[in-house]
């Protein structure tokens, strides 16, 4: 009996690997199928997660582009507001201060200052209306009680300018396409302003060319005249300087020895001065760079920096460039004259941000 059982056990051993192989082969398809389904689900989940990630990144990028667009638009509007409002107020303030001093010895100069103030105010109001009009929605324009000028009204504008003495030639290129009422109004105002400037600065007898070039997604406007263009001393900045000139000339111990319309001219004209009132924003070369170069001369003058806004970066940039003072353009003329005298005597002017934070180093 024992031999029989042992013999069965010995004889049965070879059957165990076969049984395992049989089980393995039989269940292998199920294992492979389950593994494949798991891998497929994992790949699918990874793919869905990647799609969600790309969608989230795309949405974030769209939001960032929208934020940048809003920031750029705010910057553009701020620049327009500066050009229309702040500059006009600078002219009005400087002319009012200068006219007040000049009228003591020359009433006619006081009257000229008042006329300049009135003209600047009217122009600022007109420019402000134009800026606000451009910012309005199309529906607002369409709801206007009175119709606004559009592209179809340009020929009538050309006729009026011709009657005023300017020979206007008009040309168009490309295929005209529809524009919104706001865009057409903006185009009309641009052409109107350009022709008005031609009539104002060149005068009757001038010739002007208005060219409209239609492209697929834009309209290029070019207005040219045969005038020489304004000199560096003309324009609004010249009016601001004229106001300060009247203040300086009213002082018994001061006189104006030169004026410069931009930083480049300042390098060649202002080395003979004892004190220079230097504007921060100027064409060709800004006031900070002009100050840095003017002060490298053997007989360097004292420099007081002028600007419209009382901003820290302007003040300390001017001080780092070597300026001895900083004034905003609406400073009281008595204070401006006193600080100019202080500078001439070798002192420093600590106005604006430097006065608010005297412990902050400009370097």
Same domain, 98 and 155: no
pLDDT for residue 37: 84
pLDDT at position 212 is 93
Are both 130 and 21 inside the same structural domain?
A: yes
pTM assigned to the model:
0.41
Beta bridge partners of 303: 276
Mean pLDDT per 10-residue segment, the chain (363 residues): 43 58 73 81 85 87 80 69 71 79 78 82 70 53 58 89 85 88 84 80 80 89 78 52 68 69 70 74 77 76 73 70 74 59 53 44 43
Contact, 227 vs 206, CB < 8 A?
Answer: yes
Residue 176, in any domain of the structure: yes
Is the distance from CB of 303 to CB of 276 less than 8 angstroms? yes
pLDDT of residue 15: 56
Residue range(s) defining the domain that contains residue 70: 15-135
Dihedral of CA atoms 54, 59, 61, 62 in degrees, nearest 10, equals 140
Q: Which two tokens stand for residue 62?
A: 């769209």
Residues in the chain, overall count = 363
For the domain that residue 300 is a member of, what is the CATH number? 3.40.50.2300
Per-residue model confidence (pLDDT) at position 348 = 54
Contacts 24+ apart (CB under 8 A), 158-161: 158/195, 158/210, 161/195, 161/198, 161/199, 161/208
How many structural domains are present in the chain? 3
CA–CA distance, 135 with 185 (Å, rounded to integer) = 11
Is residue 194 located within the same domain as residue 266?
Answer: no
With respect to residue 291, please indicate whether it lies within any of the assigned structural domains. yes
**Element (DSSP H or E) covering residue 361:** none
Using an 8 Å Cβ cutoff, are 224 and 209 in contact?
yes
Q: Mark whether 59 and 128 lie in a shared domain.
A: yes
Identify whether residues 81 and 155 lie together within a single domain: no
At residue 88, the pLDDT reads 77
In a domain, 9, yes or no: no
What's the pLDDT score for residue 159? 87
Q: DSSP letter at 308?
A: S
Rounded to an integer, what distance in angstroms lies between the CA atom of residue 317 and that of residue 281? Answer: 12
Report how far residue 114's alpha carbon sits from residue 244's, in angstroms, rounded to the nearest whole number. Answer: 15
Helices H / strands E in the chain, number of each: 13, 6
Listed in sequence order, the residues at least 6 apart from 187 whose beta carbon sits closer than 8 Å to its beta carbon are 151, 179, 219, 221
Residue 72 counted as domain residue: yes
Do the domain assignments include residue 255?
A: yes
Tell me, yes or no, whether 112 and 224 share the same domain.
no
Residue 208 sits in a domain of what CATH number? 3.30.565.10
Q: With contact defined as beta carbons under 8 Å apart, do 169 and 210 qualify? A: yes
Q: How far apart are CA 245 and CA 255, in angstroms?
A: 9
Instruction: Looking at the structure, tell me whether residues 25 and 127 fall in a common domain.
Output: yes
CB 323 within 8 Å of CB 305: yes
Residue-wise pLDDT for 115-151, tens only, equals 888 877 877 776 666 556 555 554 554 444 446 778 8
- The per-residue pLDDT for 11 is 46
First to last CA, the chain: 109
CB atoms within 10 A of CB 310: 18
Cα separation, 110 vs 23, whole angstroms: 113
Does 152 lie in the same domain as 127? Answer: no
**78, β-bridge pairs:** none
Instruction: Calculate the CA dihedral of residues 331, 333, 335, 339 and round it to 10 degrees.
Output: 100
Domain boundary among 135, 159, 182: 135
256 and 349 share one domain:
yes
Tokens 């608010």, residue located: 356
């Amino acid at each position: 009996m024992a031999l029989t059982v042992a013999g069965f056990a010995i004889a049965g051993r070879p059957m165990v690997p076969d049984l395992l192989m049989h089980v393995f082969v039989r269940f292998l398809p199920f294992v492979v199928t389950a593994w494949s389904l798991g891998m497929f689900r994992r790949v699918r989940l990874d793919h869905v997660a990647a799609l969600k990630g790309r969608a989230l990144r795309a949405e974030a990028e769209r939001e960032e582009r929208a934020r940048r667009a809003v920031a750029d638009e705010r910057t553009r509007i701020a620049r327009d507001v500066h050009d229309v409002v702040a500059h006009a107020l600078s002219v009005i303030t400087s002319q009012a201060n200068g006219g007040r001093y000049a009228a003591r010895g020359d009433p006619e100069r006081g009257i000229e200052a008042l006329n300049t103030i009135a003209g600047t105010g009217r122009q600022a109001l007109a420019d402000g209306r134009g800026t606000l009009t451009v910012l309005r929605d199309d529906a607002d324009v369409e709801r206007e009680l009175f119709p606004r000028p559009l592209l179809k009204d340009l020929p009538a504008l050309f006729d009026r300018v011709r009657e005023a003495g300017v020979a206007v030639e008009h040309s168009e290129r490309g295929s005209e396409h529809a524009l919104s009422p706001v865009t057409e109004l903006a185009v009309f105002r641009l052409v109107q302003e350009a022709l008005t400037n031609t009539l104002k600065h060149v005068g009757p007898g001038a010739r002007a060319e208005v060219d409209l070039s239609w492209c697929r997604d834009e309209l290029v406007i070019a207005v040219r005249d045969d005038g020489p263009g304004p000199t560096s001393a003309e324009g609004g900045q010249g009016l601001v300087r004229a106001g300060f000139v009247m203040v300086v000339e009213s002082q018994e111990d001061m006189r104006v020895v030169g004026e410069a319309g931009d930083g480049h001219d300042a390098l060649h004209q202002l080395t003979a001065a004892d004190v220079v009132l230097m504007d921060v924003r100027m064409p060709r070369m800004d006031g900070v760079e002009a100050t840095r170069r003017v002060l490298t001369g053997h007989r360097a003058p004292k420099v007081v920096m002028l600007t419209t806004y009382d901003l820290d970066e302007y003040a300390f940039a001017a001080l780092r460039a070597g300026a001895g003072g900083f004034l905003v353009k609406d400073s009281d003329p008595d204070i401006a004259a006193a600080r100019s005298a202080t500078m001439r005597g070798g002192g420093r002017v600590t106005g604006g941000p430097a006065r608010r934070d005297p412990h902050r180093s400009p370097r």
